[in-house]
Amino acid sequence: MENTALRNITVRPLAKDDLDAVVTIDAAIEGRSRRDYVERRLAAALREPGLHAQFAATDGAKLVGYVLARTLLGEFGRTQPGLRLEMVGVHADARGAGVGKKLLQALMAHAHKRGLADLHTSAAWNQHAMLRWFDAMGFTLAADRWLDCAVEGGAYRPGRDDAVGAPEGHGPGHEIDYGAPGDNDFEKLARDCADVQSMKPQDLQEITRIDRAITGRDRGEYIQAKLAEAMNDSAIRVSMTARLDGVIVGYLMARADIGDFGRTEPAAVIDTIGVDPEYANRGVGRAMLSQLFANLGALRVERVETITAPRDQALLGFLFDAGFVPSQRLAFTRAVSP
């Protein structure tokens, strides 16, 4: 039944002073506080307003709902910019009054104004209330596929899971970099293949060069934005580069956090991974994954996730070989309406 008690819902940009109200509503929904995550997201939006879209719904002076999103410039291999919906919440007293719809409309207007063609988001298959809302708001299942892998304390072993759903020819024991070493030797061999270091500002030119060689496009703006995020928010960024022969030959961009897409447990998300084509099949990608797992184990992050397009069979094969499996998370998309 529609809630008619609220008649003066207005939507405005989310402000720093809204932090407490957002945290309170989110905690009531999730059953736990995610204050640190919300605070970082608000700070990032104030620092880089062009990359974020955050709105509040109010009934008079009271905040009754919020939505947080950020611009997708090239994450997950995308070729066109879009908007990623990461958090949305409505106070229990305001549900049924169309607050969520008004927030989504504000987000769509923002995306349309900036020439963004679509909105992306995701949810676990058993988040039934959220799935019903996505359906009501016109979202559809996307073709993209979420994959994940347990960190297991940081020990990196390829093909440790059953890889159910992996493409034919990929799964446990199938190595694409160098034979099939035993579990006891693999982690050491992987890290010995390249010198893996944390990403630094001076790495931008070489990372952009490699990305251009892989994609055939200049995504300097995207690389620069991700590098800036790695430098400004090092508490959650775990990005790195790999060197051979004294030069950068690979990069991996990832973040570790609680909060994105309604997550309530620590998880890392790989946005981008790339290896210089001239150094393919030399274990560079595995070396970076091995170091990533070690870093995440130290941070007590339990799971690594990423999303891929079905057409990217080479990346899917690499990830399945590394022990990733189909996730319980579903991807959704919605076209931005004028």
Q: What is the pLDDT of residues 61-79, one digit of tens each?
A: 899 999 999 887 665 556 6
Query: Residue 180 above 80 pLDDT?
Result: no
| DSSP count for the chain of H helices, then E strands | 9, 14
Beta bridge partners of residue 109, listed in sequence order: none
Reading the block at residue 62, the tokens are: 């009271």
Q: Kindly state whether residues 221 and 307 are assigned to the same domain.
A: yes
On whether residue 129 sits in a domain, the answer given is no
Give the pLDDT score at 156. 64
Query: Residue 181 above 50 pLDDT?
Result: no
On whether residue 297 sits in a domain, the answer given is yes
As to burial, measured by CB atoms within 10 angstroms (0-12 exposed, 13-18 middle, 19+ buried), residue 40 is middle
What total number of domains does the chain contain? 2
Q: Kindly state whether residues 23 and 106 are assigned to the same domain.
A: yes
Are 284 and 251 in contact by the 8 Å Cβ rule? The answer is no
Say which residues have a Cβ less than 8 Å from residue 88's Cβ, sequence separation at least 6. 65, 66, 67, 68, 100, 103, 104
User: What mean pLDDT is predicted for residues 277-292?
Assistant: 91
Cα within 13 Å of Cα(278), Cβ side: 11
Q: 33 in the Ramachandran plot: left (φ > 0), alpha (ψ -120 to 50) or beta?
A: beta
> The dihedral of CA 39, 106, 307, 72: what is its sign?
negative
Q: Kindly state whether residues 31 and 150 are assigned to the same domain.
A: no
* Residues 240-258: tens digit of each pLDDT: 999 998 899 999 988 876 5
On whether residue 263 sits in a domain, the answer given is yes
Residue 141 identity (one-letter amino acid): L
On whether residue 160 sits in a domain, the answer given is yes
Give the pLDDT score at 154. 66
Q: Kindly state whether residues 159 and 227 are assigned to the same domain.
A: yes
On whether residue 289 sits in a domain, the answer given is yes
Give the pLDDT score at 54. 93
User: What mean pLDDT is predicted for residues 81-101?
Assistant: 90
Q: Kindly state whether residues 99 and 205 are assigned to the same domain.
A: no
CATH number, position 213: 3.40.630.30
Reading the block at residue 326, the tokens are: 């189909």
Q: Kindly state whether residues 170 and 312 are assigned to the same domain.
A: yes
Mean residue pLDDT across the chain: 81
* Model confidence band, residue 7 (pLDDT cutoffs 50, 70, 90): low
Give the pLDDT score at 338. 60
Q: Read off φ and ψ for residue 177, nearest 5 degrees.
A: -100, -50
Domain that holds residue 51: 9-116
The closest of 209, 222, 200, 194 to 276, measured between CA atoms, is 209
Q: Kindly state whether residues 106 and 151 are assigned to the same domain.
A: no
Provide the 8-state DSSP code for 49.
Answer: G
The helix or strand, by DSSP H or E, that contains position 321, with its residue range, turns out to be helix 313-321
On whether residue 221 sits in a domain, the answer given is yes
Parallel, antiparallel, or unpaired: how do β-strands 118-124 and 82-90 relate? parallel
Q: Kindly state whether residues 178 and 52 are assigned to the same domain.
A: no
Give the pLDDT score at 220. 78
Between 312 and 337, residue with greater pLDDT: 312
* Residues 19-66: tens digit of each pLDDT: 999 999 999 988 888 888 888 888 878 877 878 899 999 998 899 999
* Residues 291-316: tens digit of each pLDDT: 999 888 888 888 899 988 888 888 88
Give the pLDDT score at 248. 96
Residue 167 identity (one-letter amino acid): P
Q: Which of 116, 135, 159 is the last residue of a domain?
A: 116
Q: Read off φ and ψ for residue 145, nearest 5 degrees.
A: -125, 120
Q: What is the full DSSP assignment across 173-197?
A: T--SSSS---HHHHHHHHHHTSEEE
Q: Kindly state whether residues 171 and 98 are assigned to the same domain.
A: no
Between 81 and 180, residue with greater pLDDT: 81
Are 323 and 159 in contact by the 8 Å Cβ rule? The answer is yes
Give the pLDDT score at 33. 85
The closest of 325, 288, 291, 323 to 160, measured between CA atoms, is 323
Q: Kindly state whether residues 151 and 296 are assigned to the same domain.
A: yes
Q: Which of 98, 116, 134 is the last residue of a domain?
A: 116
Q: Kindly state whether residues 240 and 315 are assigned to the same domain.
A: yes
Query: Residue 172 above 50 pLDDT?
Result: no
The closest of 142, 122, 84 to 261, measured between CA atoms, is 122
As to burial, measured by CB atoms within 10 angstroms (0-12 exposed, 13-18 middle, 19+ buried), residue 128 is exposed
Provide the 8-state DSSP code for 241.
Answer: E
CA distance readout (Å), 297 to 148, 194, 294: 15, 20, 5
* Residues 132-154: tens digit of each pLDDT: 999 999 999 999 899 999 987 66
> Cβ of 245: how many Cβ atoms within 10 Å?
8
Between 67 and 156, residue with greater pLDDT: 67
Say what percent of the chain tops pLDDT 70. Answer: 79
Q: Kindly state whether residues 313 and 230 are assigned to the same domain.
A: yes
On whether residue 271 sits in a domain, the answer given is yes
On whether residue 132 sits in a domain, the answer given is no
Parallel, antiparallel, or unpaired: how do β-strands 140-141 and 329-335 relate? antiparallel
Say what percent of the chain tops pLDDT 90. Answer: 41
User: What mean pLDDT is predicted for residues 185-198?
Assistant: 67
Q: 165 in the Ramachandran plot: left (φ > 0), alpha (ψ -120 to 50) or beta?
A: left
Query: Residue 163 above 50 pLDDT?
Result: no
